[in-house]
Amino acid sequence: MKKHLLMVILLGLVASPFAYPCPIAFAGGISVDAGLTPPEGRWILRAQVRSMSRQDRDSISDMSMDRLMVPFVVVHGATSALTLGLRQSLDFRTMTMNGMEKKASGFADLYIFAKYKVFRINTRSYTIGISPLLGVDIPTGSKEVSNHSWNLKVGLSASGRSGKWALDLNLGYGLRGFAGVAETEPEPGNDLGLNLAFARQFPVGSSGNVSLAPVLEITWFGSSPDKSDGVEMLNSGETIFSLAPGLKYTVDDLIIEGLVRFPVTQDQKGMQLEAGAMFLLGVRRMF
Amino acid sequence: MIFTIFRMRGIILNTDQLKYLTAITLIIVGVMALTGCSSKPQAQTEANFEGEDVLVFEVFGMDCPGCHGGLEKLMATIPGVIDSKASWEEKTVKVIVSEDEVVNNDDIRNAIERANFTPGERLK
């Protein structure tokens, strides 16, 4: 009985919404023409399904967490330099421990962002673009999956194109809980993400409107531990280095994309679940 | 396919989640299908652009098959432009203009720049 009670308590702790918040600096899966802002008046709708999991490192407690995220993104080229966007995700989490399950699901926090073109050069042989980004997580999400605080993201995106080769770089720093953190809650740790994506387009057919592009993303992500009264908490903070091969299929204004992200090395502080592979399938439509 | 992946990953969704996901998938597919159907036909032939009312400009910065749409959308806002077709592989935009109206080259160059591309030489 005591053992069951202990497990329920442990499960409750680890499965709490604060245990694995959505990292805000984590560059968001599959290259997104990072530094190349869209044309004025262009609308881009994007939907993805992301399936990810975490496992107990030592498999002692048979503990795991499966998470399914369905983000919807709307992006608009307000001017040729300024891009505005928002992301609303559905978040389904299932925590399992020794056959017992705890589920949490609902709308995640609303994320709004702005990207501004500071540099763009287009020549016959190459294109380079650089755009800083400013975004904010607004704690509008469902009680079970919301971060319950305002998070700020500052980022820098750069893209290079030469012939059919593409290189995208996203660097993001997340100031978690810069506002709205309750006094009784620990101060969330900030995070830093670096995502580098290579792609090569292969035209399909003779229409010029279809291409297939293998993509390789290299991602490093690090989050600093949460703090309570200025003291670092034991079971928080991690670094993950991952590789993600993928494919992007473009038909005119429609893009279908998919990738699998494998952690290569990772280090979690204290008792935390280890990150597993992430599967992503997405669709993008431009208007 | 998505559900197969979930099963492979050992993720079991409850009925509500499945309904949710199915609804989302149907909405996405529906929107894509409807918008795809309403797009202008892609089968533009060269013959459409022959004649004195066709202008051709070099355009630098288009790097994918999906790039032309934003530029063509901006071209359509120029008075006197009937249609346009941009090609990322040829790095050009062909603009059909009305014979009754004068279309300024600068308007076309400006539209190319607003699309975040760079106009090159006027080829025709």
Q: Considering only the beta carbons, identify the residue of B9, B28, B71 that sits closest to A51.
A: B9
Q: Is residue B41 part of a domain?
A: no
Number of alpha carbons in the 13 Å side-chain half-sphere of residue A276: 18
Predicted local confidence at residue A84, as pLDDT: 94
Are residues A123 and A90 in contact, defined by beta-carbon separation less than 8 angstroms? no
Q: What is the pLDDT of residue B22?
A: 58
Q: Quick one: what percent of chain A has pLDDT higher than 70?
A: 87
The backbone torsions φ and ψ at residue B66, rounded to the nearest 5 degrees and listed phi first, read -90, 0
Mean pLDDT over A55-76 rounds to: 85
Neighbours of B102 (CB within 10 A): 10
Residues 6+ apart with CB under 8 A from B52: B99
Q: Do B116 and A255 touch (CB under 8 A)?
A: no
Range of the domain at B8: 2-35
Query: Which residue out of B42, B63, B71, B110 would a mutagenesis test of the A interface target, given it has the greatest number of A Cβ atoms within 10 Å?
Result: B63
Return per-residue pLDDT of chain B as tens, 124 residues: 444 444 444 444 555 555 566 566 666 555 555 454 444 444 344 444 444 589 999 999 998 888 889 999 999 999 989 999 999 889 999 999 988 888 888 999 999 999 999 999 888 8
Report if residue B40 sits inside a domain. no
pLDDT given at position A162: 93
Question: Number of structural domains, chain B?
Answer: 2
Burial category of B42 from C-beta neighbours within 10 Å (exposed 0-12, middle 13-18, buried 19 and up): exposed
Answer whether residue B102 is part of any domain.
yes
Residues B101 and B79 in one domain: yes
Contact B60 A127 (CB under 8 A): yes
What's the pLDDT at A111?
Answer: 94
Choose among A70, A279, A281: nearest Cβ to B24: A70
Q: What is the CA radius of gyration of chain A?
A: 20
Span of A85-89, A111-115, B25-29 with lowest mean pLDDT = B25-29
Mean pLDDT value of segment A259-284: 91
| Least reliable range by pLDDT among A151-165, A177-191, B7-21 | B7-21
> Which helix H or strand E contains A1, and what residues bound it?
none
pLDDT of residue B21: 61
pLDDT band with cut points at 50, 70 and 90 for residue A32: low
Write the CA distances from A88 to A91, B13, B15, integer angstroms.
10, 20, 22
Does residue A171 contact residue A189 with C-beta atoms inside 8 Å?
no
Chosen for mutation from A32, A122, A125 (greatest number of chain B CBs closer than 10 Å) is: A122
Torsion of CA B105, A160, B64, A112, to 10 degrees: -90
Question: Are B65 and B101 found together in one domain?
Answer: yes
B114 and B53 both lie in a single domain: yes
Beta-carbon separation of A287 and B9 below 8 A: no
**Which chain B residue has the Cα nearest residue A202?**
B64
| Interface with A, mutate which of B27, B46, B64 (most A CBs under 10 A) | B64
Helix, strand, coil share of chain B (percent; to 5): 45, 20, 35
B50 and B31, same structural domain?
Answer: no
Closest chain B residue to the Cα of A128, Cα to Cα: B61
Q: Is the pLDDT of residue A6 over 70?
A: no
Closest CB from A41, A90, A166 relative to B73:
A41
Both B55 and B16 in one domain: the answer is no
If DSSP codes are grouped into helix, strand and coil, which group holds residue B2? helix
CB contact under 8 A, B66 and A90: no
Q: Do B6 and A105 touch (CB under 8 A)?
A: no
What pLDDT does residue B30 have? 58
Q: What is the pTM of this model?
A: 0.80
The pLDDT value given to residue A14:
41
- pLDDT of A277 higher than 50: yes
Q: What is the reported pLDDT for A133?
A: 93
- Looking at the structure, do residues B55 and B109 belong to the same domain, yes or no? yes
The burial of A211, by beta-carbon neighbours within 10 Å (0-12 exposed, 13-18 middle, 19 or more buried), is given as: buried
Instruction: Read off the CATH number of the domain in which B98 is found.
Output: 3.30.70.100
**Residue B30 shares a structural domain with residue B50:** no
Does an H or E element contain B86, and which? strand B81-87
Q: Is the pLDDT of residue A16 over 50?
A: no
Least confident span in A8-22, A45-59, B5-19: A8-22
Contacts of B36 in chain A (CB under 8 A): 254
B59, B100: one domain: yes
The C-alpha atoms of residue A120 and residue A70 are separated, in whole angstroms, by: 32
* pLDDT on residue A22: 52
**Can you give the pLDDT at residue B24?**
63
Is the pLDDT score of A44 beyond 90? Answer: yes
Q: Do B116 and A117 touch (CB under 8 A)?
A: yes
Number of domains in chain A: 1
> E strand or H helix at B42, and its extent?
none
Q: Are A40 and A82 contacting, i.e. CB atoms less than 8 angstroms apart?
A: no
Q: Six-digit token pair at A25?
A: 């600096």
Length of chain B counted residue by residue: 124
Name every chain B residue with its beta carbon within 8 A of the beta carbon of A129: 116
For β-strands A274-286 and B54-60, DSSP reports them as: unpaired
Same domain, B61 and B19: no
Cα gap A90→B32, rounded to integer Å: 20
> Across chain A, where does the E strand assignment appear?
43-55, 63-77, 82-97, 100-107, 110-116, 119-122, 126-138, 150-162, 165-179, 191-200, 202-203, 210-223, 227-228, 231-232, 238-251, 254-268, 274-286
The answer to whether residue B18 is domain-embedded is yes
Is A40 close to B74, i.e. CB distance below 8 A?
Answer: yes
Is the domain of B57 the same as that of B8? no
Handedness of CA A229, A231, A236, A240 (dihedral sign): positive
The verdict on a CB contact (< 8 Å) between A208 and B89 is: yes
Inter-chain CB proximity A124 and B120 less than 8 Å: yes
pLDDT attached to residue A269: 86
B76 domain-assigned: yes
- Residue A149: the pLDDT is 87
What pLDDT is attached to residue B14?
54
Measured N-to-C along each axis, helices B68-75 and B105-114 cross at an angle, to the nearest 10 degrees, of 140
How far does the CA of residue B35 sit from the closest CA of chain A (Å)? Answer: 9
Tell me if B60 and A122 make a contact (CB, 8 A cut-off): yes
pLDDT digits (tens, 9 = 90+) for A205-262: 888 889 999 999 999 999 999 988 888 888 889 999 999 999 999 998 999 999 999 9
CATH of the domain at A142: 2.40.128
Record: contact A255-B66, CB cut-off 8 A: yes
- Which pLDDT does position B19 carry in this prediction? 57
Contact check, Cβ <8 Å, A285/B115: no
From chain B, pick out residues whose CB is under 8 angstroms from the CB of A248: none
Which of A47, A92, A122 is the closest to B118 by Cβ?
Answer: A122
- The answer to whether residues B53 and B73 belong to one domain is yes
For residue A253, give every residue at least 6 positions away whose Cβ sits within 8 Å of its Cβ, in sequence order, or none.
A285, A286, A287, B39, B66, B69
Distance CA A155, CA A111 (A): 14
Verify that B85 and B28 share a domain, yes or no.
Answer: no
Say what the pLDDT of residue A185 is.
81
Range of the domain at A107: 2-286
Tell me which residue in A201, A281, A286 faces B69 most closely, judged by beta carbons: A286
Model confidence at A282, pLDDT cuts 50, 70, 90, reads: very high
